[in-house]
Structure 1
Amino acid sequence: MKKYSSKRSIQILAHLLQQYEISNIVISPGSRNAPLAIHFAEMPGTFNAFSIIDERSAAFVGLGMAMSEKKPVAITCTSGSAVANYYPAITEAFYSNIPLLILTADRPTDYVDIFDGQTIRQNNLFHQHSYGDFQLLEDSKENAEDINFDLIKKAIELCIEKQGPVHINIPLEEPLYELVSEIPAFPDVEKTIKHKDYEIPSNLVADWNTSQRIMILVGTRDYSPELENQLTQLVKNHSVVILCEANSNLYHEKFFRHIDRYIFNFTEEDYKNYVPDLLITVGQNVVSKKVKQFLRNGHPKRHWHLDEVWQPDTYFALTEKVEVKPEIFFSKLLRFANLEPKPYYNLWDVLRDKKNAKHEEFLNMVDFSDFYFFNKTSQVIPENYNIHFSNSTAIRYAQLFDYGKRKIYCNRGTSGIDGSTSTAMGFAIKNANPTLLVTGDLSFFYDINGLWNQYIPPFTRIMIYNNGEGNIFKFIPGPGNANPNSLDEFIATKHKKNAEHLAKHFGFSYTRVEDEPTLDRVLENFFKPDADAQPKILEVNTYGKNSADVLKSYFEFMK
């Protein structure tokens, strides 16, 4: 016979999660959240419960699941410092608009600040990086059932509406392990999630139709076939210039998909020649610092940003906050837009042809290095793979190469290295297509607990390019001015570690390569199923290959 938690707040929570079809629950072990763990684990037809021990990793795993399934995922942990370990993933979800429902178990409210074990100030802990913070009442409090029902409903709807993290703190009195065999019936929910109506203002249509230099810049966002089709219609007659990045997940031969190839050495005169009159931005964080520099220095006359939640003035030129999904905006615009050819597109197209030719010329000269690794692997990844790139150099290298129509992801909300592996593994667990993580050594070693779970599919693949340091600090401006000793030890953090024993410990097959012929040979079979049905790690050792110098020489060559 199944046994459920006797806590009414937990029973209500489970009922409302079911009503809103939130089924994935990432659970980290503990005693204070035992009522939640017991309750969700006893309802396998309703909830998919996943046990992830490290709370910091667990939150990123949940983030990856939400990213994969495009709907909220709940994460739950015990009280105290366990809760604080969620924070890095919550900031990422906040700035990436990924819906996480954070369910933190807590001591009763009277226990805060009396030095009871595992008790901190949990209420409103994530206030600056969540879209809502809710504190439930203990079951013993007056009207707790009705109040908690309303609070949980409001929290779930806010999570769905804002597509971001929302926190529910749940004080629980002992006993924690009291069980019941039946759950009382709760009423069905009348959902009140808001949906915005939108009609495009006539002045925006007029601005579009009178602008001669229109640029659409697409940052980090999930794949949208509707948006891709709309932008294709806008660009087919060369009416606009559309810049996008690897993780913009848009593909068309007339889109400009390798921004840094084209604008790396722009001068003040180039800023004037190439800057748009009308800049329209879509999506979130843009990886390229060069395009930020170009647009900030170029001063476009008008800048519209399209997003339901965020309206950042990234380029210090924002004139219109369009608070609606880009797909809705462009569906309205296409009814009225003048799509005549513009010389502005040809200006950029000539630049692209020139730079792409130089890019291909450089590829014929490059030796074994990180650059070689990214070029080679971009050609062999199967089309059905989702690709997750870690921060920091991995996603920057990815901008330079062509990955076709493969779906590409990276934690660019806060651009940290701390949860790349956990996010990719969470994504892999919930996606029907296989997942590849391409990661640098520091990012991989930082987040090794991302491999500490039993749910990783056997067709998951990880490629580590190990240059023995944080190589980004060898080519970005600034760190090179530091004393070599401090640069190597405290900034680039040189090391000689490899992932061989970690791979064995976590049940991955492992291969290490150190030269071009071996890499070429290994890649032939890397994506094929493993005989032991294990996921695979390929570590590419580029110690001492001066990868930073190769990248610097690339951009010097591209001038």
Structure 2
Amino acid sequence: MDNLTENIIQYDMDTDKEYCRILFDILLCKGVKDIVLSPGSRNAPLLIGTACRPFNRHTVTDERTAAFMALGISLAGKKPVALVCTSGTALYNYAPAVAEAFYQHVPLIVITADRPLEWIDQDDSQTLVQPGALDKIVKGTYDIPVEHPDSPHEAWYVNRIVNEACNLALSGRKGPVHINVRLDNPLTDVIPFVSGMPRIIEYTDNLNLPPHLYKETATFLQGKKVLVTAGFMQADNELNRYMSAFARMGNVAVMCETLSNLHLPGNPYAIDSVLSIIENNADVCESLRPDVVISIGGALISRKLKEYIRKYPPAHHWTLGDTSPSADCFMTLTRHFEVSPVKFFKGLTRHMARTPKNKTAADYSMKWETERAKALESHENYVMQKSGWSEMAAFRHMLEKLPPSYNLFLSNGTAVRYGQLFTDRIPHASFGCRGVSGIDGTTATAAGCAMAYNGPTLLISGDMSMVYDTGVLGMRHLPVDFKIAVINNKGGGIFRFIPSTRNCTGRDELFCASPDLPVKGLAESYGWAYFKAESMMELEECFTRFLEHKHNALLEIIADENISAEILIEYMNRK
């Protein structure tokens, strides 16, 4: 059971549009339980078709917010989620979230109502060319024609392409698909609902490597210094088990980002803490140069890790089936294995355990552990030295005190980067919009994640990210254990930190662009509890109360933005 379980009315009348009935009956059979709807007239048969079927329906007027919420529900729920909107520009409001879903490999089923083909570009209202509008950010586009009762094969065709669309979204590297539904006279009759039993075309996606290849690969890796890098991924207990076994091998080191959701022994998460210490020591960097890099997960947050591997390239860089075969982030790609990380490390670990040990690189893991221990000691010394109030101090306290049952959502900018420094243990699961790394849609995506998780969720957001979809705070059926901490630091704090803009003329006006976000006013307007911390004493006093509050709550954190930027810059340059 999860937070999506609501008292949703299931009506007894269905749309008279056969093709819409076929569409929704197949979606149910393909595992779609949640649909995010945006009201309209052209999509009326689609709305009616959802209302008589056992979907969890979520009505969100703003299509941009609706799409990000669907993204969050799918991320945390690990299930496909459908979207339904009317014709016209509504479709384009979906684009930012669909792009994020495409690069995070999230299976959204994007359903758009449309007018008949003959009325496109004829100065009729609310029309534009919809098929193909999302082609660069979806796995496939499908166009369902206007119903013609005298066409005996069209119902078969609709059934086939809806099956195809769902199978495509859920196979291989998962991702969004677009189904455009052409409707003539949408506001027509309804008929009594009859549960449908559509033809379902099954798809088996079980790609694996032949056993001999695992054996050969395991033999090859013996005696090699192996570095595994892990970007954003959904939590996977099976992958965690096999990665833990692989990471225990002496010639293997692992660098996990906070959003990797890998719960491994030791502290493989302190990537920037370690690299900021060793990056200017060429001898140490060279001694840690890997022979083989195996990268899993999505795009990395850490610029330092990307720069380190590009400067000290391995002889071999391998990617797996969760990544595009053409992705060459480190500029060293030599091989792609079209197999899931779970199957790869399961097969590899079993064979490596049986392979005679080669001691050439047996201490590689220990070398990284030694440098990591030095870096963490430096980290603790620095943080204790800078014991005053700052954004860094606030993040340290929040992440240390966050209960392990929490899901954590980090906005882009400085929030997700601070998260890299202070998550020596990952909470229940961590999320972010790192597919294309935009700051829009953060609150809606986090709300969707909260709705799909039977437990508490904390969003830590910057004020610029929070500006985009504040209307989410007023939505019905938000779980009461969804909490938001806002770092109200007068705009884009990252621009005070990164070298390219921190000394730029007009920085605060042109880049930081303070939104003057009225956090307390938002809380009062939408009926959320409000907490505020302008010092460590205030944060220590209120943070637990904020998390334990029985209703939705906003925590506003205010620290001097310039001092906070200076501390972060100094941290990254500490010795």
Q: 1:59 aligns with which of 67, 72, 83?
A: 67
Report the TM-score when normalising by structure 2: 0.92
Q: 1:304 aligns with which of 298, 318, 322?
A: 318
In the alignment, structure 2 segments of 5+ residues that lack a partner are 1-10
CA distance in 1, matches of 2:500, 2:526: 38
Partner of 2:58, secondary structure, is strand
Q: 2:461 aligns with which of 439, 443, 455?
A: 439
Number of residue equivalences: 550
Partner of 2:264, secondary structure, is coil
CA contact (8 A) 2:463 2:515 kept: no
Cα shift at 1:281: 0.7
CA RMSD of aligned residues (A): 1.8
CA 1:255–1:277: 2 relative to 1, 3 Å: farther
Paired position in structure 2 for 1:223: 235
CA distance in 1, matches of 2:437, 2:423: 22
Paired position in structure 1 for 2:395: 374
Paired position in structure 1 for 2:571: 554
Cα shift at 1:372: 0.7
Moved more, 95-104 or 440-449: 440-449
Cα shift at 1:270: 4.3
Q: 2:480 aligns with which of 458, 469, 478?
A: 458
CA distance in 2, matches of 1:276, 1:464: 39
Paired position in structure 1 for 2:4: none
Cα shift at 1:313: 0.9
Paired position in structure 2 for 1:541: 558
Paired position in structure 1 for 2:510: 490
Q: After superposition, give the CA deviation of every residue in 1:472-501 in whole Å (9 maximum; x if it has no partner).
A: 001102113421xx2111211134333111
CA 1:225–1:114: 2 relative to 1, 3 Å: same
CA contact (8 A) 1:242 1:255 kept: no
Paired position in structure 1 for 2:491: 469
Pairing 1:204–2:217 present: yes
Amino acid of the structure 1 residue aligned with 2:549: P
Partner of 2:351, secondary structure, is coil
Q: 2:446 aligns with which of 424, 427, 430?
A: 424
CA 1:182–1:409: 2 relative to 1, 3 Å: closer
Q: After superposition, give the CA deviation of every residue in 1:213-241 in whole Å (9 maximum; x if it has no partner).
A: 11111111112222222122223242310
Partner of 1:260, secondary structure, is helix
Q: After superposition, give the CA deviation of every residue in 1:74-105 in whole Å (9 maximum; x if it has no partner).
A: 01101111100000001100010111000011
Amino acid of the structure 1 residue aligned with 2:292: L
Pairing 1:251–2:266 present: no
Moved more, 133-142 or 315-324: 133-142
CA distance in 1, matches of 2:78, 2:346: 22
Partner of 1:155, secondary structure, is helix
Paired position in structure 1 for 2:36: 26
CA distance in 1, matches of 2:522, 2:100: 26
Amino acid of the structure 1 residue aligned with 2:19: S
Q: 2:548 aligns with which of 528, 545, 552?
A: 528
CA 1:108–1:309: 2 relative to 1, 3 Å: farther
Misfit runs of 4+, over 3 Å: 182-188, 267-271, 338-341
CA distance in 1, matches of 2:137, 2:365: 40
Q: After superposition, give the CA deviation of every residue in 1:270-308 in whole Å (9 maximum; x if it has no partner).
A: 442222001111111111000000111111100111124
CA contact (8 A) 1:238 1:340 kept: no
1:396-415 pair list within 5 angstroms? 396-402=417-423, 404-406=425-427, 407-415=429-437
CA contact (8 A) 1:199 1:332 kept: no
CA distance in 2, matches of 1:378, 1:392: 17
Cα shift at 1:379: 1.5
Partner of 1:316, secondary structure, is coil
CA distance in 2, matches of 1:538, 1:187: 49
CA distance in 2, matches of 1:138, 1:270: 66
Paired position in structure 1 for 2:14: 4
Paired position in structure 1 for 2:416: 395
Q: 2:154 aligns with which of 144, 149, 157?
A: 144
Q: Percent identity?
A: 31
Amino acid of the structure 2 residue aligned with 1:498: P
1:66-465 pair list within 5 angstroms? 66-140=74-148, 142=151, 143-161=153-171, 162-183=173-194, 185-199=196-210, 201=213, 202-211=215-224, 213-265=225-277, 266-267=279-280, 268-308=282-322, 310-311=324-325, 312-337=327-352, 338=355, 342-366=362-386, 367-402=388-423, 404-406=425-427, 407-465=429-487
CA distance in 2, matches of 1:176, 1:91: 32
CA contact (8 A) 1:61 1:450 kept: no
Amino acid of the structure 1 residue aligned with 2:423: D
Q: After superposition, give the CA deviation of every residue in 1:188-217 in whole Å (9 maximum; x if it has no partner).
A: 424134332322525423321241x11111
CA contact (8 A) 1:271 1:297 kept: no
CA distance in 2, matches of 1:524, 1:97: 35
Amino acid of the structure 2 residue aligned with 1:112: I
CA distance in 1, matches of 2:494, 2:86: 37
In the alignment, structure 1 segments of 5+ residues that lack a partner are none
